[in-house]
Amino acid sequence: MLSQRCVDLGTAPSVIRELFEYGKLRAKEVGADKVFDFSIGNPSVPPPHEVQETLARLLTTVDPLTLHGYTSAQGDLAVREQLAASLSKRFGHEYTASQLYLTVGAAAALCCVFHALTVPGDEYILFAPYFPEYKVFIEGAGARVNILPPQYPDFQIDLNALEAAVNEHTKAVLINSPNNPSGAVYTPETLNALGKLLEDKSRQYGHPIYLISDEPYRELTYDSVTTPWTPDFYRDTIVCYSYSKSLSLPGERIGYVLVGRSVTDSETVYAAVAGAGRTLGYVNAPSLFQRVAATCDGLRADVGVYAENRRLLTEELGKLGYDTAHPPQGTFYYFLPTLEPDDVAFCQQAKALDLLLVPGSGFGAPGYARLSFCVPTDRIRGAIPGFHALAQRYGR
Amino acid sequence: MLSQRCVDLGTAPSVIRELFEYGKLRAKEVGADKVFDFSIGNPSVPPPHEVQETLARLLTTVDPLTLHGYTSAQGDLAVREQLAASLSKRFGHEYTASQLYLTVGAAAALCCVFHALTVPGDEYILFAPYFPEYKVFIEGAGARVNILPPQYPDFQIDLNALEAAVNEHTKAVLINSPNNPSGAVYTPETLNALGKLLEDKSRQYGHPIYLISDEPYRELTYDSVTTPWTPDFYRDTIVCYSYSKSLSLPGERIGYVLVGRSVTDSETVYAAVAGAGRTLGYVNAPSLFQRVAATCDGLRADVGVYAENRRLLTEELGKLGYDTAHPPQGTFYYFLPTLEPDDVAFCQQAKALDLLLVPGSGFGAPGYARLSFCVPTDRIRGAIPGFHALAQRYGR
């Protein structure tokens, strides 16, 4: 008798992972240059040079017992002070070390927050399209998930649907902007309306409804778009962040939870996050990369390649008859309307042409396919004939 | 309404942590050379030089996108193959990559195992003295803990007590050898008898009773003692390991779970561990240090300093009238019988003399005090007059 939920989670096939493995096998059969794998969101541009320089400096100048030693459970104090100063400067608040809890990436940050906040009967609301692991994390913390349908085609928030969904059991609303997979960045107008709605509902139900803002793609935006700072729009915002995408360090697992002092009972919420980390076995975030993150906060890998890939896709797929009217404003995902309503069937057609795309229905948004464009630009160029053939199958 | 358990865990004072913080404050008052802090188990000898060399080599020769990229959730395949080969060679089994699950340290390893195994109503048995966080982890997984009293003075296992304690709800027995805080290493005789008892009880109750072996101190042994390889004594053994102590890397959070093929339904148990990792937010163990661990498995930091500290304590404290008949066989903790039955009062007396020791009752073993001797040897020498004064207070 084992935990059936854990067995299921450990054996459940992941659509994305299976596609990725298929791509590797297929590349062996027909040659790597003939398979176009757009399945996985693994950064393809190296970390900013400051990351390498910081690593080299730390490893040669800091006593290894300090550098690799235990830190405080919430993160090294000097690291948190440095990071608080950086965030304060970047976003115009006065954050302090005592509001930051360093984590083993954004997944850990989210798990700590869900476990900290959840009491039996709680419900979390999130918006499709959404990152499927959210459901795993929230249910793991013992809460229910209510997923609201996507607002096509701009993938902002359907406030009427949210208004109808919030109830006395709503513990928090979870947002992810820039959004994986839609690429949408919530506008100040969306966030303003969201903040107002949550204020009203918090008053109505007599307890704060938290806004959990998962922002690993915060710095990955295009053209003139910047990601608004969510706590500016709603006091009870808890920020979860990871350096995986901005610094191209997804394997190193470093991120943070920020509980600003505007959050109701912020010190107790912070303590609960730390307590959750403790019971989940997160002793401290990896110590070397705590220091790297603090030093490199606010930098981002050179997104020129991503921007060029996005431009190429918009232009070339548009010419072929795909709907590219809503290119992503952020992230490195292109969320493309499929050429038939059944996105799974469409992705099968694409797969037969060695184009590996992820069906949108896996993210709760049927009729779309996710194309991860964090690949070398020549992979985009090489895939265009395949997209041409695919369009032809649909009579374009 | 937050999780009260998490709030409590996040605000509960830790005896050890408080003592450590007191030591820092006191050092400012009276001078760092006059305060003898033996509270914390932070390694005091640097990592083996191979660690620094491996880090330098990896950072200069491996593509950063690979080095810092996502690995498989269970750990990079090449890393697991290298590690399986190392463990096979060291312990004479044929381990494979598919039996190893890399973790964010031993705490994460234990949490994944507890969550993987636990179904409602389950109970885990452990032996005092024990590391107090075990209770936090097990209860966090939704199971009960049954702590059996210590077997004085050798701190081996009281098999009669265990025999009486095992019941139909017993999911696993958790051991920690070399033991924090007692320093005891379980003998082959102890492990043999334990294995036989668990085999009988598994048969009796019709389901495997797992043995979870937490072994972060495996390589830290003294004189001619070596740590027996637990899976040799019982088929249903799950090994949890961390490189924190052997490689002096506690802050980097790297370890593993090993589910050998002798374990009943080993592939399902492994899948459940992976599923637990997923629901707890452990995406993958830190990628750079996965490679460091695989390369440096089996090495250990120079324990000469620890051995000398242990020798000095045994000799000098013995002369002063302390009972040093059972020096630790492993770890870097000296578990010293207190000079009065009330170990908390004894540690207060010690504190008044600026000797910071942790009462054994916090580990479930009253009448003892834990002295962490992972400090520079001159700190041990400097503390002897304080121990002399302390003994005099008790008329020695």
DSSP annotation of B285 reads S
pLDDT at res. B378:
96
A43 in contact with B, Cβ within 8 Å: yes
Q: What is the pLDDT of residues A194-245, one digit of tens each?
A: 999 999 999 999 999 999 999 999 999 999 999 999 999 999 999 999 999 9
Two tokens, residue A389: 């053939």
Mark yes or no for CB contact B286/A253 under 8 Å.
yes
Mark yes or no for CB contact A9/B276 under 8 Å.
yes
pLDDT at res. A392:
97
Mark yes or no for CB contact A286/B284 under 8 Å.
no
Confidence of residue A15 (pLDDT cuts 50, 70, 90): confident
A291 in contact with B, Cβ within 8 Å: no
Nearest 5 degrees, angle CA A2-CA A104-CA A261?
Answer: 115
Nearest 5 degrees, angle CA A66-CA A67-CA A73?
Answer: 80
Terminal-to-terminal C-alpha distance of chain A: 55
Query: What are the two backbone dihedrals, phi and then psi, of residue A20, each rounded to the nearest 5 degrees?
Result: -60, -45
Confidence of residue A24 (pLDDT cuts 50, 70, 90): confident
Three-class SS state of A3 = coil
Of A106, A174, A186, A117, the C-alpha closest to A145 is A174
Helices (H), A12-48: 15-30
Of A94, A237, A180, the C-alpha closest to A363 is A180
Confidence of residue A10 (pLDDT cuts 50, 70, 90): very high
Alpha carbons A357 and A38: distance in angstroms, whole number:
6
Helices (H), chain B: 4-11, 15-30, 49-61, 64-67, 77-91, 105-117, 133-140, 159-165, 188-205, 266-279, 287-296, 304-319, 343-352, 377-393
Tell me which long-range contacts B200-207 makes (C-beta under 8 A, separation of at least 24): B201/B166, B201/B170, B202/B236, B205/B166, B205/B167, B205/B168, B205/B170, B207/A1
Residue A13 above 80 pLDDT?
A: no
Contacts of A283 in chain B (CB under 8 A): 105, 107, 253
Quote the crossing angle between the two packed helices A133-140 and B266-279, to the nearest 10°: 90
Which of B10, B112, B115 faces A274 most closely, judged by CB atoms?
A: B10
Q: Which of the residues B5, B7, B20, B103 would you substitute to probe the A interface, choosing the one with the greatest number of A C-beta atoms within 10 Å?
A: B7
Confidence of residue A35 (pLDDT cuts 50, 70, 90): very high
Contacts of A134 in chain B (CB under 8 A): none
Nearest 5 degrees, angle CA A136-CA A139-CA A141?
Answer: 110
Residue A17 above 90 pLDDT?
A: no
B288 in contact with A, Cβ within 8 Å: yes
B120 in contact with A, Cβ within 8 Å: no
Mark yes or no for CB contact B278/A69 under 8 Å.
no
Nearest 5 degrees, angle CA B214-CA B219-CA B225?
Answer: 105
Which of A5, A47, A59 faces B55 most closely, judged by CB atoms?
A: A59
Q: Which of the residues A4, A5, A7 would you substitute to probe the B interface, choosing the one with the greatest number of B C-beta atoms within 10 Å?
A: A7
Mark yes or no for CB contact A116/B6 under 8 Å.
yes
pLDDT at res. A268:
98
Q: What is the pLDDT of residues A64-111, one digit of tens each?
A: 999 999 999 999 999 999 999 999 999 999 999 999 999 999 999 999
Terminal-to-terminal C-alpha distance of chain B: 54
Mark yes or no for CB contact A286/B1 under 8 Å.
no
Q: What is the pTM of this model?
A: 0.96
Pairing of strands A255-259, A100-103: antiparallel
Rounded alpha-carbon distances, angstroms, from residue B163 to A225, B134, B193, B218: 67, 21, 11, 26
pLDDT at res. B282:
96
Report, as ranges of residue numbers, the positions in chain B whose pLDDT lies below 50: none
Is residue B104 a contact partner of residue B285, using CB atoms and an 8 Å limit?
Answer: yes
Query: Is pLDDT larger for residue A20 or for residue A131?
Result: A131
Contacts of B169 in chain A (CB under 8 A): none
Contacts of B289 in chain A (CB under 8 A): 286
Q: What is the pLDDT of residues A139-190, one digit of tens each?
A: 999 999 999 999 999 999 999 999 999 999 999 999 999 999 999 999 999 9
| Å between A245 CA and nearest CA of chain B | 10
DSSP annotation of A104 reads S
pLDDT at res. B18:
85
Contacts of A276 in chain B (CB under 8 A): 3, 6, 9-10
Query: What are the two backbone dihedrals, phi and then psi, of residue A48, each rounded to the nearest 5 degrees?
Result: -55, 150
pLDDT at res. B20:
85
Mark yes or no for CB contact B110/A281 under 8 Å.
yes
Mark yes or no for CB contact B275/A56 under 8 Å.
no
B24 in contact with A, Cβ within 8 Å: no
A268 in contact with B, Cβ within 8 Å: yes
Contacts of B278 in chain A (CB under 8 A): 9-10, 133, 136
| Å between A337 CA and nearest CA of chain B | 28
Contacts of B10 in chain A (CB under 8 A): 116, 270-276, 278
Q: What is the pLDDT of residues A319-335, one digit of tens each?
A: 999 999 999 999 999 99
| Å between A168 CA and nearest CA of chain B | 12
Per-window interface: A 297-356 vs B, CB < 8 A: none
pLDDT at res. A202:
98
Alpha carbons A63 and B38: distance in angstroms, whole number:
21
Nearest 5 degrees, angle CA B67-CA A280-CA A135?
Answer: 80
Of A15, A123, A33, the C-alpha closest to A385 is A33
State ipTM. Answer: 0.96
Contacts of B280 in chain A (CB under 8 A): 111, 140, 280-281
pLDDT at res. A14:
79
Pairing of strands B237-242, B210-214: parallel
Contacts of B253 in chain A (CB under 8 A): 104, 283-286
Mark yes or no for CB contact A115/B276 under 8 Å.
no
pLDDT at res. A297:
97
DSSP annotation of B302 reads -
Two tokens, residue A99: 């509001």
Which of A11, A56, A105 faces B283 most closely, judged by CB atoms?
A: A105
Mark yes or no for CB contact B10/A270 under 8 Å.
yes
pLDDT at res. A355:
97
Per-window interface: A 202-231 vs B, CB < 8 A: 207
pLDDT at res. B41:
86
pLDDT at res. B40:
87
Per-window interface: A 145-204 vs B, CB < 8 A: none
Tokens 């107790």: give the residue.
A268
CB-neighbour burial class of residue A245 (10 A; exposed 0-12, middle 13-18, buried 19+)? buried
Of B131, B115, B108, B135, the C-alpha closest to B256 is B108
Which of B40, B105, B281 faces A283 most closely, judged by CB atoms?
A: B105
Mark yes or no for CB contact A6/B275 under 8 Å.
yes
Span A43-51, average pLDDT: 95
Share of chain A above pLDDT 90, in %: 96
Alpha carbons A142 and A148: distance in angstroms, whole number:
20
Contacts of A275 in chain B (CB under 8 A): 3, 5-12
pLDDT at res. B294:
95
CA atoms within 13 A on the CB side of A242: 21
Q: Reply yes or no: is the peptide bond before residue A178 cis, omega within 30 of 0.
A: yes
A2 in contact with B, Cβ within 8 Å: yes
Pairing of strands B36-37, B355-356: parallel
